[in-house]
Structure 1
Amino acid sequence: MPEQPDIDHILREIYATLSPRFGEGKVADYIPQLARVDTRQFGMAVLTLDGATHLVGDAETAFSIQSISKVLMLTLALGKHGESIWNRVGREPSGSAFNSIVQLEAEHGIPRNPFINAGAIVMTDLLLAGHTPREAIGEMIRFVRSLADDEGIVIDQAVAKSEQATGDRNRALAYFMHAYGAIRHPVDHVLGVYFHHCAVAMTCRQLARTGLFLANDGRDPVGGGSVVSRSRARRINAMMLTCGHYDQSGDFAYRVGLPGKSGVGGGILAIAPGHAAIAVWSPGLNAQGNSLLGSVALEMLAQRTGWSVFG
């Protein structure tokens, strides 16, 4: 058996190395509530399959998970509709910004993948089937609490309202897809649910716990229950690896080599299959809308642990 890495030592090393750079990057100031977040915060959590929890920095400070919620939307939509969801959304990297409308017109209202905004709006439309908006939001928060084994997780209503007030780009995407028949519920209902999903607030520890089933072939290694099948966990991880960082997904795969999903709140959830789930939070973003220091931290972690899926 190869020697297990000393996770606590590695996290302390990453924190010490990056601390002079805390505050780098730019917050998502187009969402007023996120514009107020202090960029000098940095937290990281690693939860291994044996149930051990390793934390550093601001790992117990809650933040808005934003697009990381798209992994959970995809998981729920697959559970509800199965493989038929791929008739409504593609599985290819976009190569465009996360809120781009350009490809939608060329491809007749079918989003490239479920992790760009247009694709996640379609996933939300699928989750609304047979539900009121309130029920769909409730289903999501129950799912998150169950995965994290934490009833304290809530939706940040101030962030949800802030997104609702400034979400014209997402409205444009949704109405455009509605015109093609790709959105089947009232646009206001779909976007109301979508904004609330993105406004879930979690700590790094809670977020890593939520993703642990994806590191363990779809089973919760702590609670012991099955969340999804092994093949479905593998496919969700594949989507995270190829599409989880918008038009920087290839670079993230090259540098880090782990399935990951970012959010403009500055969080990243990464999966080391067979080893651990990792969450990192640093609010300052790079030009592509991904956490600048979070990406660097995950690259350092992958190098020091040898957890890259590419060996």
Structure 2
Amino acid sequence: MKQRLRAVLNEIEVELKNATTRGKVADYIPPLAQVDPAKFGIAVMLHDGTLISAGDAQEKFSIQSISKVFALTLALGKRGDAIWHRVGREPSGDPFNSSILLELEKGMPRNPFINAGAIVISDILLSSHQPRETIGEIVRFVQSIAEDDDIYIDEVVAKAEDRTGFNNAALANLLKANKNLDNLPPHVLGVYHHQCALAMSCEQLACAGLFLSASGRNPISNHRIVSVERALRINALMMTCGHYDGSGDFAFRVGVPAKSGVGGGILATVPGIASIAVWSPGLNQHGNSLLGTRALELLCRRMGWSIFGR
């Protein structure tokens, strides 16, 4: 399988290198607008510790909303199923930054992967710490599961998000008005914007997500990170909600749990086999990586990795 996987990754890199339609980079966060749309990286981490990659897989990028997977994992570890009293588990069908359903449903976000839901998760993490301590806890957790200390917050991106995140501020204030935020909105947003500014490479991200493809444990060290049941639940949410209002189309085309970010990254899991990270900065109309989605579609089709049948 390894030889075949290497060949497939190289094929995909060649096929997508000269693609004429690459999507549009996220220009509402100024540092992301400056990223070269020609960048493309992909990495696959197998359960025996083999890491196979192609393209710009060692170059760091802003993981943005992919960080919501790690924040959710931490929040579940702190509060368990009590978090579901404050955030739902249903697809929204709306854009990731929409406030319409939040207002209609009186401050109860549909799921933890839309912005409103992720802001609630940040509030839960913040409740036992100061903002700086909470941010440090998130970074250390991701470093720990990736087994790599060279993972950090890109402060330029974090500060830019604080300056331009007016929509997130509106969501936080709406949550506070509906009594679904315990801390002050600026403090919660500081945590949220910093976690989104985590800088990682495809190789680091694939390593960090490996536990979700292995029933909650690191299959190399055999260290358990979350319970089997909790890993299943996180994967289920990635499958149904990980690509916002494009989640159904992604499931239809690719067929594995995954979480996207507006930095152009996608973290995907193939249960029992591997974790995958792909990066291509250009986004489609839903805010998901255009070529990243295509790369995962090609990879899972050629390797027979859809969870719906092989």
- TM-score over 0.5 (shorter chain): yes
RMSD: 1.0
Match of 1:258 in 2: 256
SS at match of 2:90: coil
Q: Is the 8 A contact 1:22 1:42 kept in 2?
A: no
Match of 2:122 in 1: 124
1:211 to 205, 209, 212: 209
**What amino acid sits opposite 1:199 in the alignment?**
A
Match of 2:56 in 1: 58
**What amino acid sits opposite 1:301 in the alignment?**
L
State percent identity of aligned pairs.
60
In the TM superposition, residue 22 of structure 1 has moved relative to its aligned partner by: 6.5
**What amino acid sits opposite 1:170 in the alignment?**
N
Q: State how many pairs are aligned.
A: 309
In the TM superposition, residue 208 of structure 1 has moved relative to its aligned partner by: 0.3
Q: Distance in 2 between matches of 1:204 and 1:23?
A: 22
Match of 2:186 in 1: 188
Report 1:267-286 matches (<5 A): 267-286=265-284
Match of 1:7 in 2: 5
**What amino acid sits opposite 1:143 in the alignment?**
F
Match of 2:291 in 1: 293
Unpaired stretches in structure 1, ≥5 consecutive residues: none
SS at match of 1:207: helix
Q: Distance in 1 between matches of 2:48 and 2:20?
A: 31
TM-score (norm 2): 0.98
Match of 1:240 in 2: 238
1:21 to 7, 16, 19: 19
Match of 1:71 in 2: 69
Q: Distance in 1 between matches of 2:69 and 2:274?
A: 17
Q: Distance in 2 between matches of 1:122 and 1:73?
A: 11
Q: Distance in 2 between matches of 1:111 and 1:69?
A: 18
SS at match of 1:145: helix
CA deviation profile, 1:190-236 (whole Å, cap 9, x unmatched): 00000000000000000000000001010001222100000100000
SS at match of 2:307: coil
Q: Distance in 2 between matches of 1:113 and 1:223?
A: 31
TM-score (norm 1): 0.98
**What amino acid sits opposite 1:144 in the alignment?**
V
In the TM superposition, residue 105 of structure 1 has moved relative to its aligned partner by: 1.0
**What amino acid sits opposite 2:77 in the alignment?**
G
Q: Is the 8 A contact 2:41 2:280 kept in 1?
A: yes
Spell out structure 1 runs of 4+ moving beyond 4 A.
none
Match of 2:164 in 1: 166
Q: Distance in 1 between matches of 2:86 and 2:78?
A: 14
CA deviation profile, 1:13-52 (whole Å, cap 9, x unmatched): 1111111116711000000010000000000000000110
Q: Is residue 304 of structure 2 the alignment partner of residue 303 of structure 1?
A: no
Q: Is residue 106 of structure 2 the alignment partner of residue 108 of structure 1?
A: yes
1:154 to 149, 152, 155: 152
**What amino acid sits opposite 1:258 in the alignment?**
V
Q: Is residue 28 of structure 2 the alignment partner of residue 30 of structure 1?
A: yes
**What amino acid sits opposite 1:236 in the alignment?**
I
SS at match of 1:33: helix
Q: Is the 8 A contact 1:23 1:39 kept in 2?
A: no
SS at match of 2:35: coil
Range with greater deviation from structure 2 (109-118 or 5-14): 5-14
Q: Distance in 1 between matches of 2:101 and 2:111?
A: 11
